[in-house]
Chain A
Amino acid sequence: MATTGEALYSGMPRTSVSGAADHSQPGEKIDTQTLGQVTVANPVMTARKVNVYYGDKHAIRDVSVDIGRNAVIALIGPSGCGKSTFLRCLNRMNDTIDNARVTGIVTLDGKDIYEPSQDAVQLRARVGMVFQKPNPFPMSIYDNVAYGPRIQGLATQRAHLDEIVQTSLSKAGLWDEVVDRLDNPGTSLSGGQQQRLCIARAIAVDPEVILMDEPCSALDPIATARIEDLIDELRQGYAIVIVTHNMQQAARVSQRTAYFHLGDLIEVGATEQIFTNPRHKLTEDYITGRFG
């Protein structure tokens, strides 16, 4: 790998600039051209003027937005708009891409996650991720969930580990379905169950934020409904950021929606407002299926 995550971080000025920010929520004034409610009270994560470059390609530009606690924020936009790129900034997944470079500030509980002292692996335990395609490890259902707590040293005794596995699988709505076959391989489950297993795996290490990158795009409508129902339940305990191509899904599961277009965060606001009264024409054209 050419560069490490630490070297990628270019150190933005710490003080934010006040400017013509268009937001109504409490919070500091931030300099952004994004329409709507960029900041929220007591955010778990904040992004300020985040830019990502893949080599010469400027993938996202000056994205500033807060991630609220116990809420789901949906990132929507056409392919290549930068929504997944932004999602990957939130747990430094872009570090794993050779020529990717991130500038700007991303904080978790007020602490910069791109600080050289921040351990990326630790960070990813606090900001978990669920991918588009269910990707259980090639091991048993039990071990899939126990894997994170084991390497994180969260449980030293078997009984404690059992408890974590059961709680995680229960929270992911999978316990009843797999209680009799915890030793079966994770890959023996159906697609929807595998995705819930991945969610159980993510929550086993007790994260604060769960990132979901199109978690339902490989699932049938019933399995999708289960996951959506689960997302709504999980929000009681976690902040969730979900990237989705399915606008109805964004409307159904999220409290806030952010619309990305060609690397810019165009508009962010309460989901109901975005889907009934978008303020930007690009948002309106996208959500009504008129792009062009």
Chain B
Amino acid sequence: MEGHIVRTYDGDILNLRMRVLGMGGLAIDQVQRAVQALVRGDDEGAQEIVARSAEVTAYGRAIDEEIVGLIARRQPVASDLRAILTVGRVATELERVGNAARKIARLSIELHGAGETTPFRQFYNDVRKMSRVALSMVRDALDCFDRVDVEGAAMVARRDADLDAEFHLALRELVTYVMEDQRYLHSTIQTVFLLKALERVGDHARNIAAAVPRLARREDIAPEPPPALPARTASGADAAG
């Protein structure tokens, strides 16, 4: 995305990308803390996550505005335009990761309030494991975004299948609880939502990874040198043909 004659244009694009990485850091941190609050029974911490979720949204808005400004001022075309719109898409995915953190925090508060009639503690390990996989995917996807590493991004996207498998495994187990005791129904549904939120974080990471190739300048579009034409003499006409 660099290499423009107008170097401040490169600077604008770099700032935009840095902002997205900053937003990514915040979103990852939010999910991490939300899972911690759940496992530790820390409702105060969970409240804090909910309160802070507006920060991620604000980041998204600011990036949106920056993109609008960049388009208005620089009129990007071709690969630049595609790259800038892709950065916007990545920001949207990160906003949704932030939303997942808020959802996990809210569900955690509700589940803690439900007391002993809930089997969700059995799923701490699943939650921990899924959040570890999902967040490492987001981190790696952002790393690939930063380095415009198309191959790495493809590998990140493939890891989403593992996360989906974990989710379905946990789901089957949860079903058995409900079948044993219907009092668990409500908290089981909440646990499903919680696991689903983590599974969605993986989807967002996969979407970010899938966007990386659109950042890459298409180096392979055509031969690098201008078409080689036979050297001409000033005598001209007989040489043409």
Contact = CB atoms under 8 A, between A and B. Distances in A.
A290 B2 CA distance: 8
Given A13-B241, A279-B221, A288-B4, A247 B227 contact: no
A266 interface: yes
A279 B82 CA distance: 15
Interface residues of A, number: 43
Given A12-B237, A33-B227, A280-B222, A292 B78 contact: no
B179 interface: no
Contacts of A10: 236-237
B13 to A, nearest CB: 11
B229 A53 contact: no
B44 interface: no
Interface string A274-291: 011111111110011111
Contacts of B77: 247, 251, 275-276, 287-288
Contacts of A53: 234, 236
B167 interface: no
Nearest to A251: B77
A262 interface: yes
Given A17-B241, A284-B79, A288-B79, A261 B226 contact: yes
A262 B234 CA distance: 17
A56 B236 CA distance: 10
B3 A277 contact: no
Nearest to A61: B229
B227 A288 contact: no
Contacts of A95: none
Nearest to B241: A13
Contacts of B76: 288
Specify the main secondary structure of chain B where it touches its partner: loop
Q: Looking at B4, B76, B221, which has the most chain A CB atoms within 10 Å of its CB? A: B221
Contacts of A56: 234
A33 B229 contact: yes
Nearest to A248: B75
B240 interface: yes
Interface in B166-194: none
Interface string A223-249: 000000000000000000000000110
Interface string A1-31: 0000000001111000100000000000000
Contact of A103 (B81, B221, B224, B240): B240
B9 interface: yes
A66 interface: no
Given A12-B241, A103-B240, A104-B240, A51 B232 contact: yes
15 contacts: A10-B236, A49-B240, A51-B232, A53-B234, A103-B236, A103-B237, A104-B240, A264-B227, A266-B226, A280-B221, A281-B219, A284-B221, A288-B79, A291-B5, A292-B5
Interface of B: 3-6, 9, 75-82, 217-219, 221-224, 226-227, 229, 232, 234, 236-237, 240-241
Given A12-B240, A289-B6, 13 more contacts: A11-B237, A13-B241, A56-B234, A279-B221, A279-B222, A280-B223, A281-B222, A283-B222, A284-B79, A288-B79, A289-B5, A289-B9, A290-B4
